[in-house]
Chains A and B, each alone.
Chain A
Amino acid sequence: MTSYIIRRLLLMALTLVGMSIIIFIMLRLVPGNIADILFDSAGFIDPQEKALLEEELGLHLPLWKQYWDWIYGLVQGDLGFSYVSELPTVDELGPRIPITAKLAGLSLFFAVLIGLPLGVISAVKQNTWADYVVRIISLSGLSLPSFWLGLLILTAFVAWAGYIPIYTSAPETWYDELALLITPAIAVGFRASAIIMRLTRSSMLEVMRQDYVRTARSKGASENVINYKHALRNAILPVTTIIGIEAAFLIGGLIVTETVFNIPGVARFLVEAIQWRDYPIVQNLVMLIALIVVVVNLMVDLLYAVLDPRIRYS
């Protein structure tokens, strides 16, 4: 197990290096740089002033030097300055990361909380009205884009409650924050819950046709024991994989939801930073996301061994 973890950690480091090269090159391939964009808000481009600005920001340096400077700084914990706000990258990202992390966590929690039990019910009550209702809910979750669902929720709030649950100032207490985040978490988590619901249902149906389930039933085990101890435990493995993948992909759903609910998290900030070609912000933030994805992947793989005793890593 230890050697497996070491191997995976080495692979993680390699993945991150590859990722840093890819994101660095991709950003430079996108047309325009921060100087072009800063001039955009001035409505013109003066080549001389633009060259001065590029020099000031170090964009005139050869690409390999720019890459080296970034990685060297990163290793030393110096993430540079945002080109737009001219503030340290750490100060820009620091307060935003927890907001997105809480929203992502809450969305995932909601997705699992709803998706898993409804998936089990749908499988156990296959082809009954309960199954049909759950399948309709899951289909809706897959078909409704989260930004549209978010807007529908907001419109409904304004029309019926005369109130809009969006982020206009920093909440003062944890329950204020929870109240603010719960609606967007539902909007984002709904899609993920639909995926979990459908996968749990199909996985459960497959497992419930296995011999050991039939054996348990013939031994007189109760339906609850059969469903939750024998069937669900074995059906949960693919569901765990999908939860891991969804956790990584959640960032995509958060970008639009953070915009619609006006949440000042990193997901929306990342998109704006890309639009501004704010290289220090984008590069460091993408590296952080990449790190989270590889860590979550590792954790999911390790969790397999816990969930399925047959799996052994060597």
Chain B
Amino acid sequence: MTMLKAKTRLAMAAAMLAIPLGGALAMKDGGTLKIYHRGTPPSGSIHEEATNSTVSPYMGVFNNLVMFDQQVAQNSLESIVPDLATDWSWDESKTKLTFNLRSGVNWHDGKPFTAADVVCTWKQLLGDVPRKMKLRKNPRKSWYWNLKGVEASGDNQVSFALGQPQPAFLALLASGYSPVYPCHVDPKTMRTNPVGTGPFKFVELKQNEHVKFVKNENYWKPGKPHLDAIDWTIIRSRSTRVLAFIAGEFDMTYNTDVTVPLRKDVLQQKPDAICPLVPTNVSTNLIVNRDAPPFNDERIRRAMGLSLDRQAFVDIISEGNNFIGGAMLPPPGGVWGLPPEELATTQGYGDVAANREKARELMKQAGFGPDNRVKVTVSTRNIAIYRDPAVILIDHLKEIYIDAELKVIETSNWHATVAKKDYQVGLNLTGVGVDDPDVNFFENYACGSQRNYTGYCNKELQTLFEKQSSMADQEARKKLVWQIDQKLQEDVARPIIYHGNNATCWQPYVKGYVSMTNSVYNGWRLEDVWLDK
């Protein structure tokens, strides 16, 4: 196990080193990057989706105001670099963030980019636009709880007014999920034929076939992009697409599509493939319907949290490679997660046998025991990455007098089921767009948040969410984030079972790509990628 962890860290280090090594070679322009995609993206509008099926292929169509440096594997406040903004500054009260914008940038349709486009984009996200321009879906509304308004001063300056200081607001803007949209293009067109200022122009999406992009010849960054085109071929069958990568049909696999066992197969059959394992910042977690008896009894929820043997999950699912952590992705991949010594003192972690003993006591206090077992269904999405851990969960629940049956929900209906609270116990996966508590806490644990599936609401913690968000001292903030994270696990808000660790593989001649270690949503601009062939 220790050996495997060491290997994972080595692989991550290799991923971080990959670019400087590649960068030392003379870059070549031209060629088409061929990548496979796991399924048809639901649309081309990044702002309307919460899936890397959209953000991975379409990120290159757009620019942000700022972005995470595509050559730095770990996203953090320190790795934020200018994009459409040339620079930025905070006012005295730290509640007004002003960006100076580049001039001479054009949209793919030839119209000029101005500050008005930035204002439009964030007004759309705040829902402050006429119906025709309203986003059909707005999954990141919760990110902007603190945003009070956006104002342009002329064509090249824009200011964001915040309700309270929020240093990490910049991180939200740096995400692949935060592109600037053109004011003059309506949401429907953005879904089907997106227009951006980015290095690649959208050509066409054919359902079940491909998504194609070509180089933006008028890209404002000199010398970029290096590729002439990017072709994403949609292949639903994972076996087929991985075989196709092995056969050399593709230059790259889809974003973290290669699981630990698959990676072994790939490297066995194609030893020169580059396949660093990276934490995905997608957690597998337990959701409990707090309104459905007997789970409205806090003791039962706590007992369930205590029943988990996380190491068993990690060993079975990923041959020991996934990570155990709290709500925030643990180090070394993550910036904000609980370190091992803090994790060991967190309720529900540590000695499994002792935890389960406590859990059985709690169950007895709630009126259940060996002769009076609880019968439940564990619902989950009908995909292997959901089903497999759900089966292990059912086994663990047996230890505390809970007999569960697996109920698989058709994948496309999963969120509808969860939103309607049509489940008792569920096993869920949660991807975090930016490795920052301002995203994770407000999106998944804040009172009333759309994606707070369990309806967990702790007013005290809500105050702490806001407090940590306003802190300028990031080290002090981290300590508070750890406290919050521990409390979330203690409250069985959404017990985290493990954090995923998967690989993106590419052929050795693909240069300039860095697999990000703390988000699968931010590293697909691909403007630095080139082909050494």
Contact = CB atoms under 8 A, between A and B. Distances in A.
Given A158-B269, A269-B207, 9 more contacts: A36-B416, A43-B50, A84-B42, A159-B269, A164-B249, A261-B240, A268-B208, A272-B40, A275-B411
B507 interface: no
Interface string A147-161: 000010011011100
Nearest to A164: B247
A40 B412 contact: yes
Contacts of A162: 247-248
Interface in A154-201: 154-155, 157-159, 162-164, 166, 168-169
Interface in B228-247: 231, 233-237, 239-241, 243-244, 246-247
B143 to A, nearest CB: 13
A86 B191 contact: yes
B415 A45 contact: yes
B163 to A, nearest CB: 22
B413 A40 contact: yes
B188 A86 contact: yes
A309 interface: no
Contact of A268 (B34, B48, B236, B451): B236
B419 interface: yes
A163 B208 CA distance: 22
A166 B413 contact: no
Nearest to B140: A42
A154 to B, nearest CB: 5
B249 A166 contact: yes
A301 interface: no
Interface string A73-95: 00000000010111100001000
Interface residues of B, number: 50
Contact of B246 (A32, A39, A92, A158): A158
Contact of B137 (A31, A46, A158, A277): A46
Interface of A: 31-32, 36-46, 49, 52-53, 82, 84-87, 92, 151, 154-155, 157-159, 162-164, 166, 168-169, 259-262, 264, 268-269, 272, 275-277
A49 B137 contact: yes
A91 to B, nearest CB: 10
B103 to A, nearest CB: 34
Nearest to B449: A44
A164 B42 CA distance: 28
Contacts of B191: 86
B138 A49 contact: yes
B139 A42 contact: yes
5 contacts: A38-B136, A39-B419, A49-B136, A52-B136, A262-B235
A57 B463 CA distance: 41
The 4 closest A-B pairs by CB, nearest first: A36-B416, A41-B42, A44-B450, A45-B419
Given A42-B50, A44-B450, A158-B247, A262 B416 contact: no
Contact of B210 (A38, A154, A163, A169): A169
Interface of B: 34, 40, 42-43, 48-51, 53-54, 136-139, 188, 191-192, 205-210, 231, 233-237, 239-241, 243-244, 246-249, 269, 410-416, 419-420, 450-451
A44 B208 CA distance: 24
Given A31-B413, A84-B207, A164-B247, A169 B48 contact: no
Nearest to B412: A37
A155 B246 CA distance: 10
Contact of A259 (B210, B236, B269, B415): B236
A85 B136 contact: no
A154 B239 CA distance: 9
A46 B139 CA distance: 9
Contacts of B241: 262
A45 B411 CA distance: 15
B137 A168 contact: no
Contacts of B136: 38, 49, 52-53
A166 B240 contact: yes
A264 B240 contact: no
Nearest to B188: A86
Contact of B243 (A86, A155, A275): A155
B412 A275 contact: yes
Given A46-B137, A84-B207, A264-B208, A40 B240 contact: no
Nearest to B451: A44
